[in-house]
Amino acid sequence: MNKRLGLLIHHYRPEVAELATRAIKWCGTSIDAVLPELDADLVGRPDLGIAEDQFGPGLDACLSLGGDGTILRASALVAGFGVPILGVNAGHLGYLAEVDPSDMETALDAWLDGRMPTERRMMVDVWADDGKRWVGRALNEAVIDHAESGQAVEVSVSIGGRDFITFLADGMIVATPTGSTAYSLSAGGPIVEPDFRTLLLTPVAAHTVFNRPMVLAPDTEVTLTIEGHRGAIVAIDGQTCLDLQPGQSVVCRASDVEACFLVRGRRDFHLVLKEKFGLTDH
C-alpha cells in the first residue's frame, strides 16, 4: 500500500504553488498526495482534493508549505491523528519550519527512508461552559481578547481551582512553550525551551498593579471568566472561535494530544532563537 502524504499551502503566497507542484512530482506514483479541496484548487490539482475534515485520518505525514501560520493550521488538522508534520519555510519568520525550499526533496527522501526523527510539542485544550464543551486545541496559545477595539476586558483568573485575581487588560494569553516565542513574547512573556511542559499565563497591556506573566505547572487548570459588562472573544492559534458574554468562562489545560514534527536532528534552540530574531553579540 502506498504511503499517503498530505500537503497544506499558504493561501496567499503564489510561490508556494511551485513548491506544491514539486512535492506532487516527487510523490510520483508510489506515494498518494492529498490536499484539502481549497488548497488543491489553488495549485491546479482539484483531482487531489478531499474535504478538510477528512484530511487528517490515514496520513503518514503532512507537508506544510508556508510559514508558521500554515504549520499551526497543519497541527489543528492532523495532530489529533498522530500525523508528523514537516514544515517547509516559505513565510517570513518561519520559526517552526524545519526545511528551506531548496532542501524539500532531500528532506522528503529522508522521511521516506525513515531517517528523520520526530520531536513532540505540548498543546493546550480549551473548554467552555466550565470545562464541559470542547472548543479547540492550540499549539501556540489560546487568547481571551477584547471584543471592542480600544476597550479593555475584565477577566477573573482561577488557577488550579482557586481564585487568583481579576485583570483589566486588552487580553489574556494562555500559551505553550512553543507559543512562548509568539504572541506571549510580544506581550512581555518569557521564552521557554520547547521541550518543557508548562503553561504560560500572560496578560496583555494589563491595567492592574500586578501585570506579570506567570509560568505554571503543566497539570495546572486555568479558568478565565469574563466579568463586568463587556464581552470578549476567544482565539485559538490566531483563529477566532468563540464569543464570551459576561459571566461565561473558558478552561485551559494541557492536552493529552501532542503535535509531532519531523526534524533533521536535535535543534539548537538557542542558536535558532538568535538566527530567527537577528540577535548578535557585541
Catalytic positions are: 68
Residue 6, amino acid: G
Q: End-to-end alpha-carbon separation of the chain, Å?
A: 56
> How do strand 49-50 and strand 31-36 relate by DSSP bridges?
parallel
For residue 241, give Cα distances in angstroms to 5, 51, 144, 202.
28, 20, 11, 20
Q: How far is 32 from 212, CA to CA, in rounded Å?
A: 49
Q: How far is 61 from 194, CA to CA, in rounded Å?
A: 21
